[in-house]
Structure 1
Amino acid sequence: MPLTTLPVLSLADAPAAFSAAIGASFRTFGFAMVCDHGIDPALIARAWDLTEAFFALPEDEKRSYFTPELAGARGYTPFGREIAKGARVSDLKEFWHVGRDLPEGHRLLDASMPHNIWPARPAGFRETFEALYAAFDAAGATILSRIAVDLGLAPDWFDPAIAEGNSVLRLLHYPPIPHAPEGAIRAGAHEDINLITLLLGAEEAGLELLTKEGEWIEVAPPPGALVVNIGDMLQRLTNHVLPSTTHRVRNPAGERAGFSRYSMPFFLHLCSDFPFVTLPQCISAENPDRYPVSITADEYLQERLREIGLKR
Structure 2
Amino acid sequence: MAAEEAKQLPQLPRIDFSGVDPSAPGAGRWAVVRAQVVQALATFGCFDAHYPALSPDLRAALFDGAVRELFALPVDTKRRNSYGPDKPLYGYLGGIPGLANGYESLAIADRVEPERVQAFADLMWPDGGNAGFCETVHGAAKRIADLEEAVRRMLMEGLGVAKYHDAVSESTRHVFRMSRYEATGGDAEGKEEIRYGTHQDCNTLTIVCQHQVDGLEMQTRDGDWILVRPSSPASLVVMAGNALRAWTNDRVHAPFHRVTVSGDAARYSAILFALPDYKIQAPDELVDDEHPPRFKPHYTTEFIRYCVAQGARHEDKLEAFCGI
TM-score, with length taken from structure 1: 0.79
Counterpart amino acid of residue 151 in structure 1: L
Instruction: Report the equivalent of 1:52.
Output: 68
Shift of 1:305: 4.3
Instruction: Report the equivalent of 1:110.
Output: none
- What is the identity percentage for the equivalent residue pairs of Structure 1 and Structure 2? 24
The answer on 1:98 being equivalent to 2:108 is yes
Q: Which of 190, 202, 209 is residue 218 of structure 2 equivalent to?
A: 209
CA RMSD, Structure 1 to Structure 2 (Å): 3.1
Contact preservation (8 Å) 2:218, 2:227: yes
Q: Kindly indicate which of the two structures has a greater share of residues assigned to strand.
A: 2
- Cα deviation digits, residues 231-256 of structure 1 (max 9, x gap): 1100001121111000111232xxx1
- Cα deviation digits, residues 171-197 of structure 1 (max 9, x gap): 010012339xxx962111111111111
Contact preservation (8 Å) 1:72, 1:97: no
| Matched residue SS, 2:11 | coil
Instruction: Report the equivalent of 1:141.
Output: 149
Shift of 1:22: 1.3
- Alpha-carbon distance between aligned partners in 1 of 2:81 and 2:240, rounded to the nearest angstrom: 30
User: Per the alignment, do residues 22 and 96 of structure 1 end up closer, same or farther by CA in structure 2, a change over 3 Å counting?
Assistant: same
Shift of 1:262: 0.3
Shift of 1:146: 1.1
Instruction: Report the equivalent of 1:170.
Output: 177
Q: Which of 2, 14, 19 is residue 8 of structure 1 equivalent to?
A: 14
Q: Aligned runs of 1:36-185 on 2, under 5 Å?
A: 36=51, 38-48=53-63, 49-65=65-81, 69=85, 70-74=87-91, 76-78=92-94, 80-81=95-96, 88-100=98-110, 116-118=119-121, 119-120=124-125, 123=130, 124-154=132-162, 157-178=164-185, 185=194
Instruction: Report the equivalent of 2:239.
Output: 229
| Matched residue SS, 1:53 | helix
- Alpha-carbon distance between aligned partners in 2 of 1:282 and 1:143, rounded to the nearest angstrom: 18
Contact preservation (8 Å) 2:205, 2:241: yes
TM-score, with length taken from structure 2: 0.76
Q: Which of 184, 190, 207 is residue 198 of structure 1 equivalent to?
A: 207
| Matched residue SS, 2:194 | coil
User: Per the alignment, do residues 284 and 92 of structure 1 end up closer, same or farther by CA in structure 2, a change over 3 Å counting?
Assistant: farther
- Extract unaligned runs of 5+ from structure 1: 104-112
- Extract unaligned runs of 5+ from structure 2: 1-6, 21-28, 187-191, 313-324
More off after superposition, 189-198 vs 63-72: 63-72
Instruction: Report the equivalent of 1:259.
Output: 265
- Alpha-carbon distance between aligned partners in 2 of 1:224 and 1:153, rounded to the nearest angstrom: 30
Contact preservation (8 Å) 1:145, 1:157: no
